[in-house]
Amino acid sequence: MKTTRKKNPLMKRIPRELKKDLGKYIVLFLFLALTIGFVSGFLVADGSMIKTYNDSFSKYNIENGHFITSLKLTDKAIENIEDEDVELCELFYKDKQTDNDRTIRVYKIREEMNLADVMEGRLPEKEGEIVVDRLFAENNTLDVGDPMTVEGKQFKVVGTVALSDYSALFKNNSDMMFDATNFSVALVTQQQFKNFSNAGLKYCYAWRYNNQEMTENEQQNKAEDLMNVVYENALLGADISYGAVIWNNLMAGFPGADYEELDVTSGEKPLQDFVSRQDNQAIQFTGEDMGSDRVMFQWFLYIIVVVLAFAFAITTRNTIEQEAKTIGTLRASGFTRSELLVHYVTLPVIITLAAAQVGNILGYTVFKMPMANMYYHSYSLPTYTTIWSADAFVKTTLVPCLIVFAVELLVVGRSLSLSPLQFLRRDLKRHKQSKAVKLPDISFKKRFLLRVLIQNRSTYVLLFAGIFFASFIFLFGSLFSPLLQNFKANVQESKICDYQYILKDQVETDDPDAEKYAVYTLENERGEKITVYGIQEDSKYVDMKSIKEASANNVILSDGYMDKYGLEEGDEITLKEEFNSDRYAFKVKGEYYYPATLCIFMTLDQFNKTFDMESDYFSGYFSDRMLEDIDESDIATIITEKDLTVMANQLEDSMGKVFFMFLLFSIVIFLLMIYLLARLITERNTYAISMLKILGYTNREAGHLYNNATLVMTVLSFILSGVLGVAGIKVIYYIMMKAFAGWLTFYVAPWGVPLLVVTGVFCYFLVNFVLMRRIRKIPMADALKDVD
Judged by the rule CB under 8 A, the positions of this chain that interact with another protein are 1-3, 5-10, 12-13, 16-17, 20, 323, 325-326, 328-337, 419-421, 424, 788
Q: Please identify, using beta-carbon distances, which residue of 13 and 153 lies nearer to another protein.
A: 13
SS (HEC) of 466-514:
HHHHHHHHHHHHHHHHHHHHHHHHHHHHHCCCCEEEEECCCCCCCCCCC
Q: Please identify, using beta-carbon distances, which residue of 432 and 545 lies nearer to another protein.
A: 432
Q: Please identify, using beta-carbon distances, which residue of 298 and 329 lies nearer to another protein.
A: 329
In the 8-state DSSP scheme, what is residue 237? S
Cα dihedral 482→483→484→488 (10° resolution): 90
Q: Please identify, using beta-carbon distances, which residue of 430 and 625 lies nearer to another protein.
A: 430
Specify whether the CB–CB gap between 658 and 371 falls below 8 A. no
Least gap, CB of 788 to another protein (angstroms): 4
| Spatial distance between the Cα atoms of 714 and 708, rounded to a whole number of angstroms | 10
CA triple 640-645-650, angle to 5 deg = 130
Q: Please identify, using beta-carbon distances, which residue of 94 and 343 lies nearer to another protein.
A: 343
Least gap, CB of 395 to another protein (angstroms): 35
Least gap, CB of 424 to another protein (angstroms): 7
| Spatial distance between the Cα atoms of 194 and 205, rounded to a whole number of angstroms | 17
Q: Please identify, using beta-carbon distances, which residue of 5 and 545 lies nearer to another protein.
A: 5
Specify whether the CB–CB gap between 391 and 298 falls below 8 A. no
Least gap, CB of 686 to another protein (angstroms): 13
Q: At what angle do helices 457-494 and 699-739 cross, to 10 degrees?
A: 50
Give backbone dihedrals phi and psi of 209, rounded to 5 degrees, phi first: -70, 140
C-alpha distances (whole Å) from 230 to each of 84, 172, 453 are: 10, 20, 73
Q: Please identify, using beta-carbon distances, which residue of 319 and 603 lies nearer to another protein.
A: 319
List for the chain the helix, strand, coil content (%; round to 5): 55, 15, 30
DSSP secondary structure string, 25-47? HHHHHHHHHHHHHHHHHHHHHHH
Q: Please identify, using beta-carbon distances, which residue of 394 and 421 lies nearer to another protein.
A: 421
Q: Please identify, using beta-carbon distances, which residue of 58 and 333 lies nearer to another protein.
A: 333
Least gap, CB of 317 to another protein (angstroms): 18
Q: Please identify, using beta-carbon distances, which residue of 6 and 431 lies nearer to another protein.
A: 6
Least gap, CB of 331 to another protein (angstroms): 7
Instruction: List the helix and strand counts (H, then E) for the chain.
Output: 23, 20
Specify whether the CB–CB gap between 409 and 143 falls below 8 A. no
Give backbone dihedrals phi and psi of 239, rounded to 5 degrees, phi first: -150, 35
Q: Please identify, using beta-carbon distances, which residue of 84 and 323 lies nearer to another protein.
A: 323
Least gap, CB of 342 to another protein (angstroms): 13
| Spatial distance between the Cα atoms of 555 and 600, rounded to a whole number of angstroms | 6
Least gap, CB of 17 to another protein (angstroms): 7
Q: At what angle do helices 752-777 and 646-684 cross, to 10 degrees?
A: 30
Least gap, CB of 9 to another protein (angstroms): 4
Buried b (16+ CB within 10 A) or exposed e, 631-656: eeeebbbbbebebbbbbbbbbbebbe
Least gap, CB of 456 to another protein (angstroms): 23
Least gap, CB of 335 to another protein (angstroms): 7
Q: Please identify, using beta-carbon distances, which residue of 210 and 419 lies nearer to another protein.
A: 419
In the 8-state DSSP scheme, what is residue 81? H
Cα dihedral 449→455→461→462 (10° resolution): -110
Buried b (16+ CB within 10 A) or exposed e, 733-759: beeebeeebbbbbbbbeeebbebbbeb
| Spatial distance between the Cα atoms of 541 and 93, rounded to a whole number of angstroms | 35
Q: Please identify, using beta-carbon distances, which residue of 421 and 439 lies nearer to another protein.
A: 421
β-pairing, 529-535 vs 599-603, is parallel
| Spatial distance between the Cα atoms of 738 and 715, rounded to a whole number of angstroms | 34
Q: Please identify, using beta-carbon distances, which residue of 138 and 339 lies nearer to another protein.
A: 339
Buried b (16+ CB within 10 A) or exposed e, 143-161: ebeeebebbeeebebbbbb
Specify whether the CB–CB gap between 330 and 343 falls below 8 A. no
Query: HSE-up of 311 (CA within 13 Å, CB side)?
Result: 30
Least gap, CB of 336 to another protein (angstroms): 5
Least gap, CB of 459 to another protein (angstroms): 23
Q: Please identify, using beta-carbon distances, which residue of 328 and 620 lies nearer to another protein.
A: 328
H-type helices in 363-501, by residue range? 368-376, 390-393, 399-415, 420-424, 444-455, 457-494
Listed residue (136, 36, 34) closest to 654, CA to CA: 136
C-alpha distances (whole Å) from 390 to each of 360, 394, 427 are: 11, 6, 47
Specify whether the CB–CB gap between 715 and 757 falls below 8 A. yes
Q: At what angle do helices 646-684 and 457-494 cross, to 10 degrees?
A: 160
Least gap, CB of 783 to another protein (angstroms): 16
Q: Please identify, using beta-carbon distances, which residue of 399 and 424 lies nearer to another protein.
A: 424
Query: HSE-up of 353 (CA within 13 Å, CB side)?
Result: 8
Q: At what angle do helices 216-233 and 75-82 cross, to 10 degrees?
A: 150
Q: Please identify, using beta-carbon distances, which residue of 197 and 419 lies nearer to another protein.
A: 419
Q: Please identify, using beta-carbon distances, which residue of 431 and 545 lies nearer to another protein.
A: 431
Position 518: which residue type? Answer: A
Least gap, CB of 325 to another protein (angstroms): 5
